[in-house]
Structures are given as structure tokens and as C-alpha cells.
Structure 1
Amino acid sequence: MLQKFGFSQYESKVYESLAATMQPMDASMIVKQSGVPKAKIYEVISRMVEKGMVLESISEKKKLYTALALPLVIEKLTAEFQSDIQELEQLRLQKEIVDDRVWSLKADASIEAQIRQLLQEAKASIRYSSWKDDFQKCLPILEEKERAGIQVEALAVGEVLCSLKNLVIMEPSEEHVSLERFRLLIVDDAEVVFAGVEQNAWQAIKTRSQPFVRVFTDYFYHDMLLSKITNRYKDILMNDKEIMNQLLQLRY
């Protein structure tokens, strides 16, 4: 009976013999009732006691055994089965996030499609920054996700009108000729896409590697804070040549 649930043939025979009688039995009686070899009986009983399927007691210096009641066995096996299912589910989830390789991606259309897909799949948080024309393309999804309760933080290079609560605008100065186009997306603190233009063509990297995710998250907040400071103290910074010269060296 119990073999269907992963028990050995001997273990199943020991339990069935004990369950078939209302009286506790010692090892010798179990041997007679079950047919398990005498040389194996103590080993098998010990395993069943450890598994919680057999109860043991000492009476007049003799060990006696009885079976766990069948309703309790059903409850026990059901609970263990559910626990095993949960472990398998957790293992599946772990395998899904094991891929920490860095993938390269080329072609503007492919990069846009990848970004849209990740935005749609976001379940908890989105951090996104890009130039305003690229930003406008993703804006409907960003607004939809924020309405759905997902935390959205964004930075746009250039003026953008929208309903996003946490949007920072970066207005590059005319002297900032080295500022290059980029796209940065971080989803659920788990995956990042960073794209930039090299030799007049878009190229991107995509990864779940947590060190990269943390670095690009810091990079995102660096840009957010720098933009806020620049917007708030623009007049002061514009008159500080040393600081302005350093700001103008930034590529992204």
C-alpha cells in the first residue's frame, strides 16, 4: 500500500501488519505477521519510527510498536505532498532567475520591442530614463503601469507632459554637445536594459546579473539627483565655470 508513496516493500509490510491489529506488537510478532526477515526487522522498524509512521513504547523492558492511525497517515502524506510541490515551485522560480549572463542586442526596433516587453511584464517597480522622443513611445505603458499600482520612477531628457508622479526632466544646455542618446530600464530590481548609440547605431545590453542591476540602479539615481540639483540651482551652476565644465563632460 505505502509503496505508491515512496516507502519500501518491507516498510509497507510492517505498517500494514501493525495497522491490521488493535494490539501493539513486538519485533518478533511483526516478523511473523509481515514476513519481513528477522535480520532486517529492527532496521525497517527504526526507519518507520523516524518517518513518524510507527509509534514505539517500552513495556517491561520490551519494545512494543503500533501503527500511526490511518486518518493521520493520510493527513501526514497530504501535507508532505503539498510541501514537496511548494519546494518544486520554489526551485522552478530559482531556475528562472539563475541566468545572470550579459546579453547584447542590436537594431533599434529590437531594442524598442525588448523594452516594451519588459515594461509590460513589470510587477512591482519600473525605473526608466531616455530622451523625450523615445520616452513618448513608452509613456502610455508607463502611465498604465502606474495606474495599476506599480511604482514608476522616470527621467526624460527634454520636456514631456504626462501624469507620472515621479518624473524628473533633464534639460541639456546648448553647450552640452557631448550628451549622447541613451535608454535605461530597470524592472522589478531584477533585470536591466541599457542602450546607447555607437557609430550611429543603437546597441544594448540586457542582464539579470545583480551586480549590474545595482550599478545601473545607482546610475539611474545619480542622474535623477544630478538633474534635480541642476534644475534647482541652474543660475548658480551656470556661473561656476569649473562645475559647468565638468558637467559638460558627461556623455549620458
Structure 2
Amino acid sequence: MSQQSVIDELGRLGMSGYEAKAYVALVAAGTPLNGYEVAKRSGVPRSTVYETLGKLVTRGAAYEVRAGEASVGYLSLPPSALLDRMRREFDASMDALSDALPQIAAPTQVRIVHNLTDRESLLDRAEDVVAAARDDLFVSGWPGEIAPLKTSARRAEAEGVDVSVVSFGEDDEPVGRTTVHRYSSPEVVLENLGCRLLVVAADREQAVIGGVVGDDAWGVYTDDPAVVLVAVEYVRHDIALHLVAEKLAPDDFEHFWENEPALRRLRDDHGIPAALLQLGTARPPRRRRR
């Protein structure tokens, strides 16, 4: 990680840009520096460097070292000590907010529906949902979209969350109770849907539903109970189908799956579900499944 990356991360934890730059300069020096030296090494303007160093001292991220009556240097708090302090402060703030925010929150009047317009925002919001799970978590998707969610999903599982996953493709490092979708193959499902569908639902309270086509994606985040219920039941029914199939003779189920007219009718609209979600796209012509 570069020094600029460290500065950026410290900024995310509450340091100003100048404070982060000055602190990194002190850490990299490993020896007391005066204000002029800090400004020269960090890029903090000389006009504000002493104010910045004073803020670091007040924060406890640095302290003054006096070599004489007229000579003052600054030395950084060791990084491990600073990170421990930040972690304690963050945890204390989170505990306080966990108690205070629910007390001032008004009852929900309007349900949220937030549009997601690219793959990064889709996966970021999906990870938010995974991280928020406290009781149960349902995930359905392709391995490429599930992979970025695994760290948070494993953390949730370790905290007692019941994690259920449907993977459209083999997964060498499954998380939770993973069911590999076998009816139909990922390639056939992709053809039927026209996209790699991702569904993530936590605690029957919030969900992300979206589709990925190549590097493009679209989707929604919502806490609408009706939509969340549909998302959960979509995943649950896929899992139930596979549990039933495992109890039947493989050849019998394969024949039923491939040849049952009612099922074949449901697979007629290749690609239409995803196409209808693309704004301004006309409904494609129906194609019969071969």
C-alpha cells in the first residue's frame, strides 16, 4: 500500500487531509521533526503546519518532544497504538449510536427503492445487506458476483446468521449452506434470463435484486416487505427444488425437467426478463425453446 493510500484510509477514519499527511510524514521519519521538516516532507503548507501538528497532538496521534527551550519537535504515536485508539473510539461511537438512533427514529412512512446503475454499486449495496444480516441471509447468484460478498457472509455466519446460498456454477470455497444450481445449467439459465441475476435478502427486511450483463449491471435496493418476501421465496424455492430432486431417481427427474410441457412453456421467453428491465428497450419477440 502506498503512502497516499494510507493517507486516504486515515481520511476515512476522520483525519483531515493535512493531519493524515503530517502523521504519515512523522511515522516515516521515525525521529522527531520540527514544523519546517514536517511541511517539507508532507506537503502541508508551512502556514498551517503548526496548526495541523497541534491538532494531531490534541487527537493523541502525536506528541511534542522538547530538545531545549527554543526547540520543539514532534513524534508520532506508534501506528499500532493509534489504530487501537481509533478502534476503541469507533466502537464506543457505534455503541452509543446503536442505543440513541432507534430512540429518535420515526416509524417508516415510505419504503425505500434505490436504483443501482452499475456493477460496483450493485455489489457494494449487496455487501451492505449481507453485513446487516442478524438472523438469516439468502443469496442467489453466479460465483463472480457471490465472491465479493463472501468475507461479510462468513463474518455473519460466525456471528450466528443462518446463511443460505444458491450458486449458478461450482464454487470451490462455498459459504454457508450452498446449493449448486443444477436444473438448468448456468448457461441455460443465463440464456433464459438474459443476465446473471443476483438476489440478496437479509432478515426478511431488506434486499438487493439486480442483473449483470458483461461488465454492466442494473438493480434495486429495497426494504419494501412485499419485494423482500418475493426475493426470499425465490431463493427458498430453488433450494427446495434441489432437495426434492435429490430424493428422486436422477434419470426420472432429468426426463421430467426436460420434457414436461408445463415446464417447457415457462422457459419459452429466452432473455425477455432482463430485456424488459433495460429502460427504453422494446419487448423482444418471443422465441420458442428448441
TM-score normalised according to structure 2 size: 0.49
Alpha-carbon separation, structure 2, partners of 1:163 and 1:109: 22
SS in 1 for 2:192: coil
**1:239 partner SS:** helix
Alignment partners' CA distance in 2, 1:249 and 1:135: 28
Query: Within the alignment, does 1:236 sit opposite 2:252 as a pair?
Result: yes
From 163, 167, 192, the counterpart of 1:178: 192
Give the deviation of 1:197 after TM superposition.
Answer: 4.1
* 1:106 correspondence with 2:117: yes
Return 226-235 or 145-154, whichever deviates more. Answer: 226-235
Residue 205 of structure 1 corresponds to 220
SS at match of 1:238: helix
Aligned pair count? 164
- Cα 1:122/1:183, change in 2 over 3 Å: same
Does the aligned pair in 2 maintain the 1:154–1:168 contact within 8 Å? yes
TM-score between the two structures when normalised by the length of structure 1: 0.55
Aligned-partner Cα distance in 2 for 1:208–1:117:
13
Letter in 1 for 2:204: D
Unmatched tracts of structure 1, length 5 or more: 1-87
Relative to structure 1, the CA distance from residue 188 to residue 93 in structure 2 (aligned partners, 3 Å threshold; closer, same or farther) is: farther
Q: Distance in 1 between matches of 2:145 and 2:214?
A: 19
Greater RCO, CA 8 A, separation 6+? 1
Pair 1:115-2:126 in alignment: yes
- Could you tell me whether the CA contact under 8 Å between 2:162 and 2:176 is conserved in 1? no
Give distance in 2, aligned partners of 1:137 and 1:187: 16
1:92 partnered with 2:104: yes
Query: What is the distance in 1 between the residues matched to 2:111 and 2:171?
Result: 34
2:146 is the counterpart of 1:135: yes
Question: Cα deviation per residue 1:54-87 (whole Å; 9 max; x = unaligned)?
Answer: xxxxxxxxxxxxxxxxxxxxxxxxxxxxxxxxxx
Matched, 1:192 2:207: yes
8 Å CA contact 1:136, 1:160 repeated in 2: no
How far did 1:186 drift? 0.6
Tell me the distance in 1 between the aligned counterparts of 2:246 and 2:143: 17
Which residue of the partner structure matches residue 238 of structure 2?
A: 223
CA offsets per residue over residues 104-123 of structure 1, 9 Å max, x none?
Answer: 11111111111112222322
Could you tell me which amino acid in structure 2 is paired with residue 224 of structure 1? I
- Looking at structure 1, the residues matched to 157 and 104 of structure 2 have their Cα atoms a distance apart, in angstroms, of 29
